[in-house]
A and B are shown apart, each in its own frame.
Chain A
Amino acid sequence: MGASAYTKSLITTFVQQHGADIVSAITNTGLYFAAVVGQLSVESANGTSGLSQEANNYGGIKGDANDGVLMDTTEVQNGRTVSTKAYFKKYDNFPAFMADYVSNLTDNDRYVSAGVFTATSPEDQITKMVNAGYSTQTAKAYLAGGVGDRIAATRELFPMGQINSSATTPACCIPTTVCIGGIQI
């Protein structure tokens, strides 16, 4: 039931390129590492989409004519998927994108009141994010469209939940290490 080798290789590449910046940006926010990696990996076609390459926008964050780039996109309107054009924000680099991605979520009461930051799992967090309006798709379709698989692969490869600068989890209890009787081996 584990993630496929292909999905794992996509996640490995993505985390190799952006893992450290993601850790730095989501520390103390309540965002799950696997949720962010899974979502951004799909939204940016693992960093190969035109929007991520031309504008460093890995999350499909909308902009306007003043600060954005006009790109083709698909949206769900009245239950139908339609092709359209929209302005998306442009960033100087990946860390600048991450800072805006995180503040767009944490500073927005829509996401806070939807329970995004009190979610109990990455899947729950994405569901609440989508229900609060991150995507025009349903949460179920959004997860089934690849985000769910990439969350599973991220969890398998990089087993951790949220990141907090004052975390008290002893190194021995982190799932990557093997413990017998409290002794790390």
Chain B
Amino acid sequence: MADDSKKNKALHIILFIFAVATVVGYGGFMYYEYAKNKKIDATVVTPEQALSIIQQGLQNG
């Protein structure tokens, strides 16, 4: 019984760490995406730069 209790406790700790890591990882990724999009949206370009970005995007796509 004592061994089972220790095993359960260890399992609970692992599950807890996994849950926290998932939440932090997902939150971090969402924040990264948000910050990246915000930077792109704030980028004002000239028509020439816009056409160059289009060319680059078409080549990469």
Contact = CB atoms under 8 A, between A and B. Distances in A.
Interface residues of A, number: 37
Interface in B39-61: 39-47, 49-51, 53-54, 56-58, 60-61
A110 interface: no
Given A1-B29, A15-B54, A161 B49 contact: no
Contacts of A23: 47, 50-51, 54
A158 B30 CA distance: 20
Interface in A36-50: none
Interface in A1-35: 1, 8-9, 11-12, 15-16, 19-20, 23-24, 27, 32-34
Q: Is the interface of B mostly helix, strand, loop or mixed?
A: helix
A162 B36 CA distance: 16
A175 B58 contact: no
B54 A158 contact: yes
Nearest to B40: A159
A134 B10 CA distance: 57
B53 A160 contact: yes
Nearest to B26: A1
A164 B40 contact: no
Contacts of B44: 161-164, 167-169
A161 B42 contact: yes
Given A20-B51, A165-B46, 8 more contacts: A19-B58, A27-B50, A158-B57, A159-B57, A160-B50, A160-B53, A163-B44, A167-B46
Interface of B: 29-30, 33, 36-47, 49-51, 53-54, 56-58, 60-61
Interface of A: 1, 8-9, 11-12, 15-16, 19-20, 23-24, 27, 32-34, 120-122, 155, 157-169, 171, 173-176
